[in-house]
Amino acid sequence: MEQDQANKVALWRTYNPLPSLKEQADLGEGNIPAFYEIHNNSTLPIFDIFVIAVSSKSGSRLDNFFMPYSNSSPEDYFKYISYLKIVAPQHRVQGFVYGHGTGMGETDDFVYIFRDTRGIVWFRGNTGFLEKIGSQSDLYTLMDRVKINIHDPRFFSRPSIMEPI
């Protein structure tokens, strides 16, 4: 099946991050870290992983995913996005993005995008639904639509830690 490798990639929020990662989170004013753990349980690497913090009340499907937080300016988006170049097979990565915290019946949640070894780009919403984006070009089109400049170097500066599963 086309999505065999994609089905073996999972991400969830962790409330018990590795101590060294927790120390790297800037707890300055307005910075509320949301820690995640991504597992690549396949026998092949995954590439160009974007983890995006969204409101738990936001849409979790590709057709209604519009931006990390609707009340944020595009200049702030980099705070809500983490980028990983590669996750090795049978490895997990812990990382973080900044969110808005909890309140008013919502909390920070995640959607993520990644590319498999065949070059297919996938989107997994915050309810776990997996959707095919298509090619790298299709990914750029989507990111342009939501006004996220994926070539901004700030996406590459977020710390993360990779370990074998």
pTM for the whole structure: 0.85
d(CA 27, CA 118): 39
Over range 108-126, report the average pLDDT.
Answer: 91
| 44-100 pLDDT tens trace | 999 999 888 877 776 667 766 655 455 555 555 556 788 888 999 999 999 988 877
Residues 85, 129 contacting (CB under 8 angstroms):
no
Over range 113-139, report the average pLDDT.
Answer: 92
pLDDT range class, residue 159, cuts 50, 70, 90:
confident
Q: What is the largest CA-CA distance in the chain?
A: 46
> Domains of the chain: which residue ranges?
6-164
Per-residue tokens: 165: 């599963």
In the chain, the amino acid numbered 161 is I
Over range 21-48, report the average pLDDT.
Answer: 86
Torsion of CA 145, 146, 149, 150, to 10 degrees: -100
Strand ranges, E, within the chain: 9-13, 32-40, 46-55, 81-87, 91-99, 108-115, 121-124, 130-134, 160-164
